[in-house]
Amino acid sequence: MECLGCRIANNIEPNLNIIYENELITCVLDIAPFNEGHTLILPKKHYLDVEEIESATAYAIMDASKRLSAVLKDLFKPDGISICQNGGKFNDLAHYHMHLIPRYEGDGFSWSEPLHPHGADKRLGQTREKILKSLNEE
C-alpha cells in the first residue's frame, strides 16, 4: 500500500495511537498534535476528497466525530473543538482525513483573513444563485 493514509487507516504503519476504529474508519492521535487529544479520523477505504465518500463511511466519520468530541471535552476541558478537513492540494496525506482539535482561548489556532482580497462578500447574492442553479441541475 503506497498511500500513507491507507496504511494508517488499516493499521499497517508502526507505532499508531489508535483510539477508536470500526470496519469503515480508524481514529488515531495526530503525531504532531496542535493540542493534546488532536485526533484524525480516516476511512479505511481510499478517498481523496469528501465528495467521493459513500454514505455509510461518511456517516461513520460524523458519528465518530460526535463521540470523540464528547470524550475530548470531558477529558481535556477545552474551550471548544475545531473540526476541519483539507481537500485537494491542501490534503497533505493525499487521503481524506478529518481533524478533531481541542481548542483553548489564546492557543494560536486561527482562521485568518485572505492574503489577497477577492470581494466575495460583495457577491453573496450572485454566488447563491450560481450554487442554487448548479444544485437544481443535478
Quote the pLDDT of residue 76: 97
Q: Does residue 138 have a pLDDT over 80? A: no
Q: Is 80 exceeded by the pLDDT of residue 121?
A: yes
Give the mean model confidence (pLDDT) for residues 118-136. 87
Predicted local confidence at residue 137, as pLDDT: 86
Kindly list the domain boundaries of the chain, sorted by start residue.
Answer: 4-136
Query: What pLDDT does 124 receive?
Result: 86
In the residue annotation, 99 being an active-site residue is answered as yes
Pick the residue with more confidence: 114 or 18? 18
Cα torsion through 118, 124, 125, 131, rounded to 10: 90
pLDDT band at 119 (very low <50, low <70, confident <90, very high): confident
Tens-place pLDDT, residues 33-44:
999 999 999 999
Task: Give me 86's grid cell.
Answer: 483539507
For residue 101, which of 93, 91, 114, 111 has the smallest C-alpha distance? Answer: 111
More confident position, 86 or 120: 86
Given pLDDT bands bounded at 50, 70 and 90, which one contains residue 8? Answer: very high
Instruction: Please report which residue ranges of 1-138 form alpha helices under DSSP H.
Output: 4-9, 55-76, 124-136
Rounded Cα gap, residues 112 and 115, in angstroms? 9
Segment 61-118, tens digit of pLDDT: 999 999 999 999 999 999 999 999 999 899 999 999 999 999 999 999 887 777 787 8
Among the listed residues 38, 95, 99, 118, the single catalytic one is 99
Write down the CATH number for the domain with range 4-136: 3.30.428.10
